Amino acid sequence: MTDTSAPVALTPQPSPAYRWLVLIVISVAMFGNYYVYDSIAPIADILKSELGFTDANYGTLFSVYSLAAVIVLLLGGVIIDRYGTVKSTIIFGAICTFSAILMVTTSDFWVMVVARFLLGLGSEPLIVAITCALAKWFKGRELGFAFGINLTIARLGSFSADWMPTWVPSAFTGWRGPLLIAAGIGTLCLLSALVYGALEARANRRYGLGEAGETDKLVLSDLFRFTKSYWFVVALCVTFYSAIFPFRGFSIKFFMEAWELTRDTAGQFNSVLPLAAMIATPLFGLLVDKVGNRALFMVFGSFMMMPVFLMMAYQVTPLVVPVAMMGVAFSLIPAVMWPSVAYIVDEKRLGTAYAVMTLVQQIGVMGMPLVIGFLNDHYQASAENPAGHNPGMWAFSILGFLALFFAIMLRREETGPNAHGLETIKAGSKG
């Protein structure tokens, strides 16, 4: 007979230092990923002058990334669930690295399209795999903080890409130099994944690690159970990101041609968005948790974003004013929007809710660069004709107006009889 009275030995756990080391290592992979994605923004004009790319060609390089992301998101987390976080991180990190290297080896537009498509295939599931990995290594209150650190390091990649003309001006004598730097930094996606794999293998031999939760999956039947509030949030999400991310892709070229800025100054202005997000998004999250009124905050953020594109187009104020307003909106809306879904949707359907939201977002981000590229080419936007950028800025502004409309509709719904508590629930309250 087995003696059950003996004390059960607790499984040893990794030290805090070891866990934070893992966090830094896998976040470096995200840094490389974000850098590669944004690395073509500072060379849009060089691709046009040296390789004969049109703005439509340039927009396609962003759109094809989102097309790949949509395909991957439709597959859900099948690969991650099957192969685990370590193998998945290495596989997707390798794809990201290869795409960055392929990008710099060719001047052919269609090969570059393939490279950006591969980046989309690797990048989005890499983010999911890293998120799952963090859930294994951090629990409770530490998890939110770990996610925040991870995202901050990732956005440093975007910030660094925007500042590349300032830090390495000698690389911008042609199109290949900046992409060569991006390829070098892109190797971090694979190298960091390999180091993470080694760290986890060592930990599995010595410690008891938890398991990551299931990857978010799309369950179509759940779509019919979502309320109006959820769909207003989704609509806000797609209009907001369809304006912000495509604008960032074209903005350095726009600042140079319409505002006559140097390449390094244009990159610095473009970097305000990721910098503001790194600093202000966590602060806005704390503020909203304390005071509630989540829908009202989304209305305010959307209102801040609505006029900025026309302010830039017609130069009614110094450039710093609309850029600062966009920085506030880019920090505030995501800080409120994504957590709000958890208040609106049942916990068992959150996977579907976030999967749909991300999918629709990517579809919007896929289409808008093609629209802007077409408008810029049609109206011959250039340094000689800066007004040719105005139709594209009007298109962005329309999205800003729609974002405000959906935020107002959400606010109206959440102050009515079918509210979910977005305006009333505060941190520490019971509901």
Lowest mean pLDDT among 75-89, 127-141, 213-227, 318-332: 213-227
The span from the CA of 112 to the CA of 103, in Å, is: 5
Dihedral sign (CA 31, 36, 41, 46): positive
The tokens of 24 are what? 């830094």
The pLDDT value recorded for residue 430 is 46
pLDDT top residue among 328 and 281 = 328
Compute the average pLDDT of residues 208-212.
57
Residue 218: pLDDT band with limits 50, 70, 90: low
The pLDDT value recorded for residue 51 is 95
Determine contact, residues 238/364, Cβ cutoff 8 Å: yes
To the nearest 10°, report the CA torsion of 105, 108, 110, 111. Answer: -20
The pLDDT value recorded for residue 8 is 41
Compute the average pLDDT of residues 290-303.
90
Range(s) of the chain covered by CATH 1.20.1250.20: 13-215, 216-431
Lowest mean pLDDT among 37-51, 58-72, 101-115, 143-157: 143-157
**239 CB-contact burial (10 Å; exposed 0-12 / middle 13-18 / buried 19+):** buried
Radius of gyration of the chain (CA): 22
Res 10 pLDDT > 80: no
The pLDDT value recorded for residue 9 is 43
The pLDDT value recorded for residue 355 is 76
The pLDDT value recorded for residue 381 is 94
The span from the CA of 42 to the CA of 175, in Å, is: 10
Res 156 pLDDT > 50: yes
pLDDT top residue among 211 and 202 = 202
The tokens of 30 are what? 């995200």
Residue among 308, 360, 304 at smallest CA distance from 332? 304
Res 47 pLDDT > 90: yes
Res 345 pLDDT > 70: yes
Determine contact, residues 338/144, Cβ cutoff 8 Å: no
Compute the average pLDDT of residues 214-242.
81
Class of the 13-215 domain?
Answer: mainly alpha
To the nearest 10°, report the CA torsion of 34, 263, 53, 319. Answer: 90
Homologous superfamily in CATH for domain 216-431: MFS general substrate transporter like domains (1.20.1250.20)
Residue among 21, 22, 194, 183 at smallest CA distance from 91? 194
Contacts 24+ apart (CB under 8 A), 244-247: 244/273, 244/305, 244/326, 244/330, 245/62, 245/365, 245/368, 246/59, 246/62, 246/365, 246/368, 246/369, 246/372, 246/396, 247/309, 247/396
Residue 2: pLDDT band with limits 50, 70, 90: very low
The span from the CA of 143 to the CA of 125, in Å, is: 20
